[in-house]
Amino acid sequence: MTGGIGAGDASAGIVAGRVALAAPGTEFHSRDVALGTERPAVFADALASEADAAASAAADAFFALQTEPGELDPVVLVRALAVALEGRRAELVAIAGIETGLPPARLNSELGRMTGQLELLAAEATARSGRAVEEDPAGEPGGAAFAPALALGHVPLGPVAVFGASNFPFAFGVLGGDTAAALAAGCPVVAKGHPAYPETSDLLAEILARVLADGGWPAGWFSLLHGRGSEIGQALVAADGIAAVAFTGSTRGGLALVEAAAARAVPIPVFAELGGINALYLLPGAAGEAGGGAASGASPFVTGLAQSVTGGSGQFCTKPGLLVLVDDAASRLTVASLASVLAAADSAPLLTPGILHALVTGIDRLRRLPGVDVLLDGPTDETDVAAAVPAALATVTSADLRADPSITDELFGPAVVVVYCDSIEDLIDLTGVIPGGLTATIHAAAGDEDALHALLRRLRLRAGRVLFGGFPTGVRVGRATTHGGPFPATSAPGTTSVGAHAIDRFLRPVTYQDLPESMRAAALSWK
C-alpha cells in the first residue's frame, strides 16, 4: 500500500514507530475524488487509548532530549524533512491528487510552499536558538535598585497535537505549517490526519518516520492517528503530556477543542484557525475601473476575483466570500461581468461529500432568506460527488444583510455574495456588521482616498491581513506574514499559523537570573 503502514490490515496510523491499534468495526476506505469511488486501501479509527500512548511517547522523548541533549538538532531535522519531501514529490502529488481531486499544478505549488515553510522556520530557529532575546545587565553592586542580571531565552512548549485540515493536504496537513513550526521549535508532534486523504497522510508520516530513524531521533517524536469522529481528537487534547494544540478547520470543531483544553486539570493553549468570510470592498472609484459590460470582456479585477473565488474549488480559508460595493451603474456592470465569468468557470469536484452537502445546503438556505437574489445557483445535485462544481453568486442589499447577518455565514466552496450598499457611508458602517476573519481586502482608486482611510482603521480591527488591491487567496509565506486575526480567524489572536512567527506559538519564554557564563550556551539553546 502507498502508506506502508499496517500493510495487510486497516491503517489506524503510527504510534511511536509501531502500527496504531484500530477501534473494532471502524474501517473506512480512501476515496478517488475524480471517479467518486472508494479506493482499495483500508483505514480505521485509532483507539482513543492510542492518543494517550502517542502523547506519552512524545513526552518521554521530549524530556529525554531536553535533559540529555546530544547531537540531535531540530534545524537539521526540519531541513532533512524538506529534502525528503522533495525527493518523494512525484509520489506525493500523485496520491494527493487522487484523494483530493486537486490538479497537479496546484499540488506541486502547495508542496513547494510546504517545504518553503520548513526552510523558513529552520532559518528562524537557527537565528534565534542559543541567543538571548533580551538582556538586562546587572546594576552596580550595592546600588540602590534591585538589579540582578536577566537574560531572556526560550524553551519548547512540549508535545503538540496537530489537526490536519481538509483543504490543503500538504500545507495544512499532518506535516503542514503547524507541524513544521512545532518541529522547528523543538517540540514533538502527534498529528490527527484528516479522513479526506488518509493515504496521503500515511505517506507523509512514513517519510517523516524514515527521516527520524535515519537521524537517530526517538520514534515517539512523531505519531499519526486516523479517525473520523471527534472521539480521537478529544482524547488527544485531553491526553497527559500534550502541551499545546494546533488546529485548522471548522469553527464548531475548533471551539470544541478550545473548551476541552480549558477544562483540563492543566489547561493548555489551543491555536485554532477557523473560518471567516474574507470580505472584499470595492470602492466607487475602483468600481469605475473594474466594470465593463460582459460583452466587452472582463476587467482584470473581475477575472482576478473569479479566479480567487473558484481556485481550489473555493475551498480556501482565504476565499473571498463577500463582495461589498456601493450600488451604482459601475458596480452593476462589474457584478454582471462577474456573473458572466463565474458562469463559465466550472471547478474541480469538491474534496468530500460532506463539503458538497454543506455547500448545497448553505446555498439553499441563503436562497430562502429575505432579499437574497441568487444569480448563479452553484451545485444543486448532491448525488454526483465527482461532478464539476459550478460557481454560486447571490446579491443582497446592506439593509437585508443587517436584518439577517447570517447571510455572511461562510459558504465553503466556489460561492460569493455581493452586498449592495446605499452609499459609501453605508459601506463603511457595514464593516461593523460583517464578521472578522483572516483577511479584508480594499480595492480603491482615485477619488476613494477618504473612504480608504476610514476603511483601513476599521478593517484592521476585523482582520489579520488587510490587502490593498489583489485577492486574499494568495498567502505569501514570509517574515511579516499574519495568518490569524480576530475570532473566528483564530482562537489565539496574538499569533499566526503561517510565516516565521508561527514558531512563537510553540516556545515559552524563560528568564535566567544571574546566569553563570559557563551555563549560557546550555541555557539559551532550545535543543
Catalytic residues: 273, 317
Q: Smaller CB distance to a copy of itself: residue 135 or 364?
A: 135
Piece of the chain touching a copy of itself by CB under 8 A; list 32-40, 344-352, 361-369, 457-465: 457-465
Instruction: Give the other-Cβ count within 10 Å of 90's Cβ.
Output: 10
Beta strand segments in 228-288, E: 244-248, 270-273, 279-282
Site for a copy of itself in 408-437 (CB under 8 A): 432
User: How far apart are CB 465 and a copy of itself at their closest, in Å?
Assistant: 4
Q: Which helix (H) or strand (E) holds 393?
A: strand 392-397
Nearest-CA neighbor of 74 among 181, 162, 156, 183? 183
Of the candidates 126, 230, 303, 511, which one interacts with a copy of itself according to CB under 8 A?
Answer: 511
Q: Does 467 bind a copy of itself (CB under 8 A)?
A: yes
Asked whether position 481 contacts a copy of itself by CB under 8 A, the answer is: yes
Q: Is 402 in the site for a copy of itself (CB under 8 A)?
A: no
Q: Which of residues 123-152 bind a copy of itself (CB under 8 A)?
A: 132-136, 146-148, 150-152
Among residues 315, 308, 310, which one has the least CA distance to residue 100? 315
Task: Please tell me the distance from the alpha carbon of residue 150 to that of residue 525, in angstroms, as a whole number.
Answer: 16
C-alpha to C-alpha distance for 132 and 359, rounded to whole angstroms: 50
Closer residue to a copy of itself, CB minimum distance, 195 or 269: 269
Can residue 108 be called a binding residue for a copy of itself (CB under 8 A)?
no
Residue 70 as a binder of a copy of itself (CB under 8 A): the answer is no
> What is the 8-class DSSP label of residue 444?
-
Residue 485 interacting with a copy of itself (CB under 8 A): yes
- Of 482, 497, 502, 503, the residue at the interface with a copy of itself (CB under 8 A) is 482
Q: Between β-strands 18-19 and 463-468, what pairing exists: parallel, antiparallel or unpaired?
A: unpaired
Q: In this complex, which beta carbon is closest to a copy of itself, that of residue 357 or of residue 508?
A: 508
Which residue, 420 or 512, has its beta carbon nearer to a copy of itself? 512
Window 248-287: residues binding a copy of itself (CB under 8 A): 255, 258-259, 261-263, 266-269
Determine whether 329 is exposed, middle or buried from the number of CB atoms within 10 Å of its CB (0-12, 13-18, 19+).
exposed
| Size, binding site for a copy of itself by CB under 8 A | 83
Q: What angle do CA 116, 309, 321 make, to 5 degrees?
A: 105
| CB of residue 63 to a copy of itself, shortest distance in Å | 8
- Write down the least CB distance from residue 38 to a copy of itself, Å: 36
Residue 176 cell numbers, joined = 503542514
Region 28-67 residues binding a copy of itself, contact defined as CB under 8 A: 63, 66-67
Give the nearer residue to a copy of itself in terms of CB position, either 447 or 509.
509
DSSP code for 11: B
Q: Does 405 bind a copy of itself (CB under 8 A)?
A: no
Provide the sign of the torsion angle of the four alpha carbons 509, 515, 517, 521, taken in this order.
negative
Between CA 521 and CA 91 the distance in angstroms is 42
Q: Which whole-number Å values give the CA distances from 251 to 247, 248, 432, 437, 489, in the listed order? A: 10, 9, 20, 12, 9
Does residue 198 belong to the site contacting a copy of itself (CB under 8 A)? no
Which of residues 69, 87, 229, 297 is near a copy of itself by CB under 8 A? 69
Interatomic CA distance for residues 526 and 522, integer angstroms = 8
DSSP 176: S
Residues 152-191 close enough to bind a copy of itself by CB under 8 A: 152-153, 155, 157-158
Question: Which lies closer to a copy of itself via its Cβ, residue 39 or residue 505?
Answer: 505
Distance between CA atoms of 320 and 361, rounded to whole angstroms?
A: 19
Question: Position 506: which residue type?
Answer: F
**Least Å from the CB of residue 420 to a copy of itself:** 23
Size of the chain, expressed as the number of residues it contains: 527
Provide the minimum distance between the beta carbon of 516 and a copy of itself in the complex, in angstroms, as a whole number: 6
Residue number, 63 or 404, with CB nearest to a copy of itself? 63
Asked whether position 484 contacts a copy of itself by CB under 8 A, the answer is yes
What's the closest the beta carbon of residue 169 comes to a copy of itself, in angstroms?
Answer: 20
Contact 427, 434 (CB under 8 A): no
CA–CA distance, 226 with 219 (Å, rounded to integer) = 18
In single-letter form, the type of residue at position 6 comes to: G
Q: Cα separations (Å) of 131 from 149, 155, 512?
A: 15, 12, 12
Q: What's the closest the beta carbon of residue 34 comes to a copy of itself, in angstroms?
A: 27
Cβ proximity to a copy of itself, 7 vs 265, nearer residue: 265
Residue from 465, 497, 502, 503 in contact with a copy of itself (CB under 8 A): 465
Which stretch in 42-50, 191-199, 230-238, 500-508 sits in contact with a copy of itself by CB under 8 A? 500-508
